Amino acid sequence: MVYPEYRPRRMRRNEALRSLIRETSLSAAQLVYPLFIVPGKKVKKEVSSMPGVHQISVDQIAIEAKELQTLGVNAVILFGIPEKKDGLGSGAHDQDGIVQRAIRELKNKIPELLVITDVCLCEYTDHGHCGFLVNDEVDNDTTLEILAKTALSHAKAGADLVAPSDMMDGRVAEIRATLDENNFEMMPIMSYAVKYASAYYGPFRDAAESTPQFGDRRAYQMDPANSREALREATLDVDEGADVLMVKPALAYLDIIARLRDEFDLPLAAYQVSGEYAMIKAAEAKGWIDGERVMQEALLSIKRAGADIIITYFAKEMARLLMK
Ligand code: PBG
Ligand code: ZN
């Protein structure tokens, strides 16, 4: 069928027709909101490069979580900024650590809220890298053990889902085995399977105080130029027992999201990272773009590319818009 028999504009004439045939939609139930937990009491400090996003103390998170719930957002991912950092990142698996306390607080006050935890060491190491250093290089196999210990400590504190973001080889298998040995065989793993060494993480590192003190993360995070490698990474994580796969960042990697969607049948998450958020906020503040519409368009593109779950700093704003 060609013009003039087929006129695509017929179905675009008004909003009722457009919404009748809309192929993709967003739902608050599939958004995940990141929370940055800091020591202290009554802390709610805006991250300078992420307007609207705050570092908060444990006593404030129930308030935050209740607000999310009223908006229909039922999942958070936790990042902790510990009081002290050390060479081994030992704060990461402290049963009384910052994230562990935050999990218990949330599970006490709002048991239905889904609590996801980021499993990594960079916020806990004094050098800011995601694992143990041996001669200034992150040593893969010694790091695995501490990651597994960290995931286990989150499970013990009551987390619902653990999400390793370190990009060490073999970490999904190691975490799965440790969880299983400790009777947490029902704890799912959402693997940051395809995580690129990205400049889009800049504002996050302000929020999480996790900038590497020397060098960069290119020896463990993926090269932005590669997409076949993304399939190999994802295949490994599937074989090691991942329950959900993740691609990160999102907008600059929509092709990767689409490829993983085609190749794998596991649920797929995408992380719309701090830099993606900051760029929209900055251009909006300058009056250069309509921030709300650009937010919607970006989130829709991630969904359209094939993501089921979106981790986003826009979760509240988007959910508010969905309620209108
Ligand atoms: C920790 C981690 C990072 C992000 C999530 N988990 C930072 C990094 O790898 O440097 C980035 C999230 C964001 O930018 O919003 N490994
Ligand atoms: Zn890390």
Distance CA 249, CA 257 (A): 10
Query: What separation in Å is there between the alpha carbon of 128 and the centre of ligand 1?
Result: 12
CA distance 167 to 228: 16
279 Cα: distance to centroid of ligand 2 (angstroms): 22
Number of domains in the chain: 1
- Is 5 inside any structural domain? no
Instruction: Classify residue 33 by its DSSP letter.
Output: E
Residue 14 included in any domain: no
The beta strand positions in 127-227, using DSSP E, are: 133-134, 137-138, 161-164, 190-195
Rg (CA), the chain: 20
Integer Cα distance of 312 and 299 in angstroms: 9
Per-residue pLDDT of the chain (324 residues; tens, 9 = 90+): 999 999 999 999 999 999 999 999 999 999 999 999 999 999 999 999 999 999 999 999 999 999 999 999 999 999 999 999 999 999 999 999 999 999 999 999 999 999 999 999 999 999 999 999 999 999 999 999 999 999 999 999 999 999 999 999 999 999 999 999 999 999 999 999 999 999 999 999 988 988 999 999 999 999 999 999 999 999 999 999 999 999 999 999 999 999 999 999 999 999 999 999 999 999 999 999 999 999 999 999 999 999 999 999 999 999 999 998
Question: Which residues form the domain of 209?
Answer: 25-323
End-to-end alpha carbon distance in the chain: 38
Contact (Cβ atoms closer than 8 angstroms) between residue 38 and residue 56? yes
Q: How many helices (H) and strands (E) does the chain have?
A: 11, 12
Phi/psi for 170 (5° steps) reads: 85, 5
Look at residue 88 and tell me if it is in a domain: yes
Is residue 273 within 8 A of residue 200, CB to CB? The reply is: yes
Does residue 20 fall inside a structural domain? no
Residue 263 lies in a domain: yes
Q: Does residue 140 fall inside a structural domain?
A: yes
In a domain, 143, yes or no: yes
State the distance from the centre of ligand 1 to the C-alpha of 203, rounded, in angstroms. 9
Ligand minimally distant from the alpha carbon of residue 127: 2
Q: Ligand 1: which residues within 6 Å by Cβ? A: 118, 120, 122, 130, 165, 201, 204-205, 217, 273-274
Closest atom of ligand 1 to CA, residue 275: 14
Q: What is the CATH number of the domain that holds 130?
A: 3.20.20.70
Give Cα 211 distance to the centre of its chain. 17
The answer to whether residue 19 is domain-embedded is no
Task: Tally Cβ neighbours within 10 Å of residue 306.
Answer: 18
